[in-house]
Amino acid sequence: MNKQIKLYGAFDDYGDKLVDQYGRSRMFGGSETSNIFSPVISNMIFAKGFKPFYPNNKSFAFCLSHDIDLLYLRRPVKDRVLSLFGKSTYKSADNFNYVYGSLFKEKPYPAFSLKKLDNINKSWDINSTYYFLSLQEGEQDYNYNVNTIRDTVNLLKERKNEIGLHGGHQAYNNIEKLNQEKELFESVTGSNCVGYRNHYLRFDINSTWKILTKLKFQYDTTFGYPDCVGFKNGMCYPFHPYDFKQQAFLEIVELPLIVMDATFFFYMRLNDEQIKMIIKDLLKKVKAIGGVFTLLWHNNNISEKNLKLYNEVLEIITKEDPWISTSIDIVNWWKQQDLLTKQQSILNDIFAGQQSV
Ligand SMILES: [Zn+2]
């Protein structure tokens, strides 16, 4: 088996013995990922004459997305009372009206406001994609009832954003659970849900893509290492995943995730300057070959210090003049322009050859 197909198909994830406590493959568990900051497979495809193109003659694309894990603080009543007297552990984020108003009945937390987030995005002319959890009370990481987000979802849609499903801890490898979350979510949004990312980027190479295909999702955008930004399988182009069991490409489209905010904060532990440096480097590599720069930024990371960084990151990206698109629009573009089909025939040539990465 050649190196390229092993990297592209994430061969090392099968039977990975170095997964973390959430079953996720890590960057250092992959033998083919030493070049994590280079889109090595996309580079090869590009070198074979493949030239992606975008509306308005833009040279590459940018997809911004948000996983909505938190809309409420969900703090204990004792802490809410204490915070009235400035003694809360959440003191820095408190304001009197909010605290007083949520003393008995919790209200959505202003710092996590999606309207605020969308206003920031719109100041950069960005339409983005919001992935919502669809959990029931008592489930792991339950934070909000989907029935209460109807107005927010409608507002975000009116403002030309895309709405997708953020599967919970139990969904990524369980078709019944994923279907239940999808149906509950669709009963609120009133439309078919075609876009997906799993919470915690939990992903099973054997089942996630197949389950999503069966449930008629058009694309997934979970595929990235939680512990390191970059190009997990050497791709910065949307692609049809390769399945080693069937020895065939799958119908679903993967929009690979290149940068998640939490990866910088909790795993790589970089400072703001280092974060911007890495983003510039990855962006340059994506732009050079007409790829899609995907960025996940959580709505709970837009307060205070993180807001400054967020705006700086958006400035760095938009300055490069990408086609700014929601996830579904970029996937549809690649389908309609036959880019996925052309790419696949080049990949077949590469996989049949013996070149090394
Ligand atoms: Zn999440």
Ligand 1 centroid–CA 4 distance in Å is 31
The predicted pLDDT at position 77 comes to 55
The predicted pLDDT at position 104 comes to 53
Residue 146 sits in the same domain as residue 95 = no
Residue 51 lies in a domain: yes
In this model, does residue 91 exceed pLDDT 70?
no
Ligand 1 centroid–CA 66 distance in Å is 9
pLDDT digits (tens, 9 = 90+) for 136-163: 999 999 999 999 999 999 999 999 999 9
pLDDT digits (tens, 9 = 90+) for 261-281: 999 999 998 899 999 999 999
Buried b (16+ CB within 10 A) or exposed e, 251-288: ebbbbbbbbbbbbbeebeeeeeeebbebbeebbebbbe
Token pair of 134 as six digits = 């669809």
Out of 83, 107, 131, a domain closes at 107
Share of the chain above pLDDT 70, in %: 88
| DSSP assigned state of 241 | P
Residue 49 lies in a domain: yes
The predicted pLDDT at position 3 comes to 86
The predicted pLDDT at position 84 comes to 56
Residues 118, 149: contact at Cβ < 8 Å? no
Residue 247 sits in the same domain as residue 102 = no
Q: Where are the alpha helices (DSSP H) in 150-301?
A: 150-158, 175-189, 208-214, 261-262, 272-288
Residue 271 lies in a domain: yes
Ligand 1 centroid–CA 309 distance in Å is 20
Out of 85, 107, 129, a domain closes at 107
The predicted pLDDT at position 16 comes to 86
Residue 93 sits in the same domain as residue 197 = no
Ligand 1 centroid–CA 252 distance in Å is 21
Residue 227 sits in the same domain as residue 297 = yes
Total domains, the chain = 2
Residue 123 sits in the same domain as residue 101 = no
Residue 91 sits in the same domain as residue 225 = no
Residue 68 sits in the same domain as residue 86 = no
Residue 202 lies in a domain: yes
pLDDT band at 18 (very low <50, low <70, confident <90, very high): confident
Residue 357 lies in a domain: no
Ligand 1 centroid–CA 168 distance in Å is 8
pLDDT band at 353 (very low <50, low <70, confident <90, very high): confident
The predicted pLDDT at position 244 comes to 92
Residues 316, 280: contact at Cβ < 8 Å? yes
In this model, does residue 31 exceed pLDDT 90?
no
Residue 208 sits in the same domain as residue 236 = yes
pLDDT digits (tens, 9 = 90+) for 46-58: 999 999 999 999 9
Tell me the residues surrounding ligand 1 (ion) with CB < 5 Å.
Answer: 67, 69, 199
Taking residue 100's Cβ as centre, other Cβ atoms within 10 Å add up to 12
Residue 140 sits in the same domain as residue 85 = no
Ligand 1 centroid–CA 198 distance in Å is 7
Residue 103 sits in the same domain as residue 48 = no
Residue 160 sits in the same domain as residue 243 = yes
Residue 232 lies in a domain: yes
What is the domain range of residue 176?
A: 3-72+110-352
Residue 34 sits in a domain whose CATH number is: 3.20.20.370
Residue 274 lies in a domain: yes
In this model, does residue 92 exceed pLDDT 60?
no
pLDDT band at 78 (very low <50, low <70, confident <90, very high): low
pLDDT digits (tens, 9 = 90+) for 286-304: 999 999 999 999 999 998 8
